[in-house]
Amino acid sequence: ETNIDDMNPELLPHVLERLLEAGARDAWLVPVLMKKGRPAHVLSVLTDPSHADRMFAMITAETSTLGVRMRTLRRRSLPREPRVVATAFGPVKVKAVRRGAREALVPEFEECARIARERNLPLIDVYRSLETELRRREGNDREHTTPPAQA
């Protein structure tokens, strides 16, 4: 993580893209106001420890920062698995997320974006439509879902 206050912010989306392409698990920016009222951004990157040196090199090469704060984090997550579900839009990749005894089906963003492009529909309409359709199925058995094809 680093604070960036002396760099053209138009360049920052490129930095995020490069970090993700280089193997970061996630990367994001948060606008902040620093001392003396200086606008800045906090760049945060999640990566495996084995990629820390690569991420540090990329951050210091692609930004104006002089240093990076590093710490080790633990993560807990809900059980989930990828599935393919038959929908009104055809087969769609989703995440099946287990929340206690309940299972929730969540559409994958990339799938929603693909459908929106292919059908020339607003992305938000596709996402909402799939959410509604999937919500109706929650709690049902897997008769309408299949595991994703193995590559």
pLDDT at position 8: 95
What distance in Å separates the CA atoms of residue 63 and residue 67, rounded to the nearest whole number?
Answer: 10
pLDDT at position 143: 44
pTM as predicted: 0.70
**What residues contact 55, with CB distance under 8 A and at least 6 apart?**
19, 22, 23, 24, 45, 47, 68
Render pLDDT for 93-150 as a digit per residue (tens, 0 to 9): 999 999 888 889 999 999 999 999 999 999 999 999 999 999 888 755 444 455 555 4
Render pLDDT for 40-99 as a digit per residue (tens, 0 to 9): 999 999 999 999 999 999 999 999 999 999 999 998 999 999 999 999 999 999 999 998
